[in-house]
């Protein structure tokens, strides 16, 4: 792909505003496998960016580096102008309170009820919060995802779609400014996947959150993306909105939109 | 330089990693903030919930040991020494070791499987994202609870085993409860009780730390969870015997035997 073509594709529906996540020259390898190689990304406030790429292309590694679960080999990650590599544990925890992370497998705590699952991040990040406030926030978060009746149920009693919604409610409870989604519709049927995608759009509208979404699901990508970044060989190969990339003649890009 | 056999390399690597994990336990365990609520919850799960199993096995242990010893003592004409002999055997060796092995089977496997499952389903990562140090919350609390609960369970198991023994004695003879316990405690000394009690803390620590280590570093998906639980039981059971072996040498050197 030529630079000119790439520039043409670098167009988004939304006008850039404040940068909330800035990544420059990110490198991460596992042994001889170079997963991320000089990866660059800017996420603007209120924007939803989808990172698209083949399995094993390093998409999940990328968001795990952003949230601090993996340490990059090289490069700069700044979130709200804070260089995360210079933050200590306490600083990182404070920053994480502004970030939500929806895990691919939901990562609900099996030994806790839905209420306890939602209370956990609240109690950990906001130490001085009364039980009454906690109850209100838990119910509000569950109402946001339409599952207030499951408050005393165990995760094992819920369907896959319900678990995903509960995980989303847990992510939302701290009112994060940025939400990172790791394949939010994987393993769900098309109808539930559509519901989750719509919920993600509602969240952006309601809370003005910025979103970084890792996904293979083109229906989810079409519904949620303001801008798409195609990850290939550890780098940003192409960038643009859904329609622009869909109409691209480049085989590396068009193969994602063929199905 | 000759290359070490693969099995030996794996063994040395595992030993090194377990030692580092143990070091991390002391480093994180001493640092505030302390997860008191989770520690108490684990004490309930590890201690209280193990009581029925430990009690039952203790009772059977005392009863069977008494019934098995009786014929030999009758042959030598020292049947009256049966309570003293069973008492010393239970308090010094059989009670702590058997209870620790039962504990390794129940608690070691459950910790290994629980943490392993949390690892492969990203619950440990979710905990870190939620502003929690998962090592402190999951590992330190469980290891401490196992270390403190096993000695209590051993004391209870010993008491129940002695009651089982009392019933065993009364199958053939009629001995009063008071006389039985009088014979048991008259023959027990400080050197029988204290070293045996102290080593149970080490047994509990070994079961806790191995279970957590195997679970915390579980991989290979659900298959890895089963493997973690299994190897937690095997390794902690072997460690119980090794600690027992070291303890008996130390008590011997100190003149307590």
By mean pLDDT, which of A149-153, A184-188, B92-96, B192-196 is the weakest? A184-188
- Whether residue A76 has pLDDT greater than 90: yes
Supply the mean pLDDT for chain B. Answer: 92
Question: For B84-113, what is the mean pLDDT?
Answer: 94
Q: What is the pTM of this model?
A: 0.86
Nearest chain A Cα distance for residue B152, angstroms: 26
Contact across the interface for B131 and A93, Cβ inside 8 Å: yes
B66 inside domain: yes
Q: Give all domains of chain A, ordered by start, each with its CATH number.
A: 1-9+21-45+53-98+214-259 (3.40.50.300)
Q: What pLDDT is stored for residue B148 in this prediction? A: 97
Residue of A nearest to B35 (CA): A124
Nearest chain B Cα distance for residue A78, angstroms: 17
B47 inside domain: yes
By mean pLDDT, which of A55-69, A120-134, A226-240 is the weakest? A120-134
ipTM above 0.90, yes or no: no
| Residue with the two structure tokens 């063994």 | B11
B20 inside domain: no
pLDDT digits (tens, 9 = 90+) for A202-231: 888 888 899 999 988 888 999 999 999 999
Range of the domain at B129: 35-253
B223 touches chain A (CB under 8 A): no
Distances in Å between the Cα of B136 and the Cα atoms of A92, B115, B195, B211 are: 17, 13, 30, 15
Nearest chain B Cα distance for residue A125, angstroms: 6
pLDDT digits (tens, 9 = 90+) for B207-244: 999 999 999 998 877 788 898 999 999 999 999 999 99
B221 touches chain A (CB under 8 A): no
Q: How many helices (H) and strands (E) does chain A have?
A: 10, 10
Number of domains making up chain B: 1
Q: Per CB distance under 8 Å, which residues of A are interface residues toward B?
A: 64, 67-69, 89, 93, 96-97, 99, 101, 103-105, 107-111, 120-121, 124-125
pLDDT digits (tens, 9 = 90+) for B32-68: 888 999 999 999 999 999 999 999 999 999 999 999 9
List, in sequence order, every residue forming a beta bridge with A30; answer none if it has no partner: A33
B114 touches chain A (CB under 8 A): yes
State how far the Cα of B235 lies from the Cα of A43, in Å rounded to an integer.
Answer: 48
State what percent of residues in chain B have pLDDT above 70: 99
């Amino acid at each position: 792909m030529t630079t000119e073509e790439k520039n043409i594709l670098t167009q988004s529906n939304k006008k850039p505003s404040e940068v909330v996540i800035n990544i420059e020259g990110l490198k991460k390898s596992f042994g001889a496998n170079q997963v991320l190689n000089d990866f660059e990304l800017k996420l603007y406030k209120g924007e939803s960016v989808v990172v698209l790429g083949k399995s094993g292309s390093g998409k999940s590694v990328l968001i795990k580096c952003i949230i601090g679960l993996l340490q990059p080999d090289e490069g700069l990650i700044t979130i709200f102008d804070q260089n995360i590599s210079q933050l200590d544990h306490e600083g990182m925890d404070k920053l994480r309170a502004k970030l939500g992370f929806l895990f691919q497998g939901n990562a609900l705590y099996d030994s806790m009820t839905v209420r306890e699952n939602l209370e956990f991040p609240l109690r950990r990040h906001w130490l001085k919060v009364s039980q009454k406030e906690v109850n209100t926030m838990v119910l509000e978060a569950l109402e946001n995802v339409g599952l207030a009746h499951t408050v005393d149920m165990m995760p094992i009693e819920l369907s896959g779609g319900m678990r995903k919604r509960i995980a989303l409610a847990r992510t939302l409870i701290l009112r994060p400014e940025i939400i990172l989604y790791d394949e939010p519709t994987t393993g769900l049927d098309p109808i539930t996947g559509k519901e989750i995608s719509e919920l993600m759009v509602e969240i952006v509208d309601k809370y003005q959150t910025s979103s970084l979404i890792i996904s293979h699901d083109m229906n989810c990508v079409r519904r949620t993306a303001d801008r798409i970044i195609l990850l290939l060989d550890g780098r940003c190969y192409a960038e643009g909105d859904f329609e622009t990339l869909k109409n691209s003649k480049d085989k590396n890009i068009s193969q994602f939109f063929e199905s | 330089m000759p290359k070490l056999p693969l099995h030996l390399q794996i063994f040395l690597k595992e030993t090194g990693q377990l030692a580092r994990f143990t070091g991390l336990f002391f480093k994180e365990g001493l640092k505030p903030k302390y997860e008191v609520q989770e520690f108490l919850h684990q004490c309930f799960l590890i201690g209280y919930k193990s009581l029925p199993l430990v009690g039952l096995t203790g009772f059977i242990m005392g009863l069977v040991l008494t019934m098995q010893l009786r014929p030999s003592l009758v042959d030598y004409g020292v049947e009256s020494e049966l309570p003293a002999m069973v008492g010393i055997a239970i308090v010094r060796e059989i009670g702590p070791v058997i209870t620790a092995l039962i504990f390794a089977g129940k608690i070691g496997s459950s910790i290994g499987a629980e943490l392993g499952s949390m690892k492969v389903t990203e619950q440990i990562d979710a905990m870190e994202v939620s502003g929690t140090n998962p090592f402190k919350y999951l590992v330190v609390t469980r290891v401490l609870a196992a270390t403190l609960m096993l000695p209590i369970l051993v004391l209870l198991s010993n008491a129940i085993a002695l009651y089982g023994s009392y019933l065993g004695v009364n199958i053939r003879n009629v001995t009063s409860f008071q006389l039985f316990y009088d014979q048991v405690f008259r023959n027990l000394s400080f050197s029988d009780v204290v070293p045996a009690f102290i080593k149970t803390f080490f047994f509990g620590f070994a079961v806790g730390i191995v279970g957590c280590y195997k679970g915390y570093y579980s991989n290979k998906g659900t298959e890895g969870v089963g493997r973690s639980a299994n190897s937690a039981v095997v390794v902690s059971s072997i460690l119980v015997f090794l600690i027992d072996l070291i303890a008996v040498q130390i008590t011997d050197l100190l003149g307590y035997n």
